[in-house]
Structure 1
Amino acid sequence: MRYDKMSAFIVMDIVREAGKYPNAIHFEIGQPDLPPSPRVKAALQSAVEDNRFSYTESLGLYALREKICQYYRTTYQIDIAPERVLLTPGTSGAFLIAYALTLADGDKLGLTDPSYPCYKNFAHMMEVEPHFIAVDKSSCYQLTVAQLQAQAEKIRALQISSPANPTGNIYSAENLQALNEYCRQHEIAFISDELYHGLVYEEQAATALQFNPDAYVINGFSKYFCMPGARLGWIIVPQHKVREAEIIAQNIFICAPTLSQYGALEAFDHAYLAQIQNTFRERRDYLYNELKQLFTIEFKPQGAFYLWADVSHYTDDSYRFAKEMLAEIQVATTPGIDFGTNGTKHYLRFAYTREIAHMREGVERLKGWLKSKK
């Protein structure tokens, strides 16, 4: 494992520094401040009272895997066999399984730049080479088939995220289908991070499984279901990879957290989840309308809970800019360089994961502070 190639997750340093200020405004951290459904809490309490502290099978509770399959039938009108679903310790465990199933030492994993920083770090841990493909506002940060065709290097697996962190864009159904068809034709494994599905605000996001039954699809309970500390994700693997995936899971983590699995049995509370979606839509609309007056916001986020703000009018070093902002007005954001090298030093990521009153205070501080920068 090549730990020496792994980079620090800068946002966690920002979180630690922001913790020194009791009056800090938090735009930095990508976790919901809302609780899960009350039904989840009741299920957790019941599991504790029933002493549900033993391991589950490595694939996870069958009843929960059935509920996930029902979620796909209801949401995307596709049928998945429960044995294809593996429950994992967060989505981190799911990424390790996906990479182990699709890549060998020295193989190339196609990733977009910008993208979530742990992807490349997991790749380095697995002795896999991350191969970055630049995306920008011209394609609404979507990778295209034309870009894949232009790659001289042989990519063994491609990973995209939709909705994406840090940009909040969604891959159109047409583009997602085209990418999957290209990958199937060229024997490239397709890995789709769909963790922010559910947190979409204008139209339903498509899943890669609608176009590719052999796609590796990753999701979890930390964002839409508001259970980040439960550390529970899932991966859907091709039918012929189920046993291999199970063996990998047995050796990496034995099983996902048992109490979290019992709590998640009640997570598919659709009336409650609709409220969660509406709350984040309102927060997005507020912050987008405010920040577009201060920075260049290239498009209104379609999903997740992030705004990708171009701050190059004020600085050519958003990391230094973020540190000054935190020290001088106690407003915490995530520097763009956390997410790659493709022009990212000109960007900050703002998370709208706090209530509007909290964000409003941050916006007012920003307005006064930015006037001094002109």
Structure 2
Amino acid sequence: MDLLREAQNIPDVTHLEIGEPDLKPPPEVIERLNFAIKNNLFNYTPALGLWELRERIAKHYLDYYGLEVSPNRIVITTGTSGAFLVAYSIILEPSDKIALADPSYPCYKNFANLLNIEPVFINVDASTNYQITPEHLEGLEVKAVHISSPSNPTGTLYDEENLKNLCEYCKERGIYLISDEIYHGLVYEKKERTALEFWDKAIVINGFSKFFCMPGFRLGWMVLPEELIRPAEVVIQNVFICAPTLSQYAALGAFDYNYLSQVKQTFKRRRDLLYQGVKDFLKIDAKPEGAFYLWADVSEYTQDSYQFAFELLKKAKVALTPGVDFGKNNTHKFVRLAYTRKEDELKLALERLKEYLS
């Protein structure tokens, strides 16, 4: 965030640091939003969310994954951030331990710290495609494991075999598995699999910020085992009351698969452009399979990715995210590049990077 604030004060910067889509949401989202406004639909919804939206998300699981999920198990949340906070609070007590990958999305550990839950970091790298495996968990006394697929910051996808093995490992040992699937839909060659396909008790979190291009609507969802629905409802009632009402009505128009396929193809073209452009002068040890990030090794140029990122910003006018934001596992050697800008800006960033690094 320090670098983002700095970048916003410098003119003519090419932005590769921002992890939110720049594309518009499906057109019906705006139509539904305007309908809700015109019809004064401003009241609180039930804490678990608008029933019509819970039903629509259940239909999405059938349409997209071929999986039947009861809408009763779907909980609407204030963004996925709200979902993480609720999930942690209903399955973990203070001093309980949760396994997290290093590198990974930094807010996971921040939510754990907020609730006095102890994060246990697992060093992952290209040898497992930046995935946690059951072998990583052997000997650890953890109550929950939290994974993300595709991952922020690496863009790597949990393969079917490992996801299935993780589910079986956690099921046999009574460990909760939380699967962050916010980047589902933005997977470019393979087919993403939801953890629910392999274990009905997995806690799956998703939302509308990435694939559906609705970041400012602050709307997410969880799929929970039935026994966790009431505890989640109580937490939401007390902490959030409900997710934003207008956003819930708008999201009813989000599942336009024809439009969303164009979103996916746009990000795939950008991924290909940026990956092909940087791989000759930055080492990418695991090709990103989804999301909209590249995880690049810059150890040829620096051993301090934080300082390196600020130098690039000031001297080359390219903003990217230092790897140390995502953990401590060799992250001083890495930076994250986001392809959430138009292709012309990505090309300009490549020219500036290549010129500066040469």
Coarse TM-score class (shorter-chain normalised): over 0.9
Give the paired residue count: 358
> Is the partner of 1:315 in helix, strand or coil?
coil
* Deviation at residue 22 of structure 1 after TM alignment: 2.2
Aligned to 1:253: 240
Aligned to 2:6: 17
Q: C-alpha root-mean-square deviation of aligned residues, in Å?
A: 0.7
* Deviation at residue 14 of structure 1 after TM alignment: 1.4
Q: 2:93 aligns with which of 104, 108, 119?
A: 104
User: Is the 1:59–1:83 Cα contact (8 Å) retained in structure 2?
Assistant: no
Structure 1 unaligned regions, length at least 5: 1-11
* Deviation at residue 150 of structure 1 after TM alignment: 3.9
* Deviation at residue 206 of structure 1 after TM alignment: 0.7
Q: 1:180 aligns with which of 147, 159, 167?
A: 167
C-alpha distance after superposition, 1:202-228 (max 9, x if no partner): 111111101111111000000000000
- For 1:323 and 1:211, the matched residues in 2 are separated by 43
* Deviation at residue 248 of structure 1 after TM alignment: 1.0
Aligned to 1:5: none
Q: 1:346 aligns with which of 327, 333, 344?
A: 333
* Deviation at residue 129 of structure 1 after TM alignment: 0.3
Aligned to 1:267: 254
- For 1:30 and 1:274, the matched residues in 2 are separated by 20
- For 1:144 and 1:93, the matched residues in 2 are separated by 27
1:116 paired with 2:114, answer: no
* Deviation at residue 299 of structure 1 after TM alignment: 2.4
Matches within 5 A, 1:355-366: 355-366=342-353
State the TM-score, normalizing by the size of structure 1: 0.95
Aligned to 2:43: 54
Aligned to 1:234: 221
> Is the partner of 2:143 in helix, strand or coil?
strand
- For 1:75 and 1:42, the matched residues in 2 are separated by 23
Aligned to 2:16: 27
- For 1:203 and 1:137, the matched residues in 2 are separated by 18
C-alpha distance after superposition, 1:10-45 (max 9, x if no partner): xx2111111112201000010000010111111111
* Deviation at residue 367 of structure 1 after TM alignment: 1.1
Matches within 5 A, 1:81-230: 81-151=70-140, 154-230=141-217
- For 1:193 and 1:241, the matched residues in 2 are separated by 17
- For 2:35 and 2:12, the matched residues in 1 are separated by 37
C-alpha distance after superposition, 1:46-82 (max 9, x if no partner): 1111111110000111111111001101111111111
- For 2:139 and 2:62, the matched residues in 1 are separated by 36
State the TM-score, normalizing by the size of structure 2: 0.99
Structure 2 unaligned regions, length at least 5: none
- For 2:357 and 2:190, the matched residues in 1 are separated by 35
- For 2:213 and 2:31, the matched residues in 1 are separated by 15
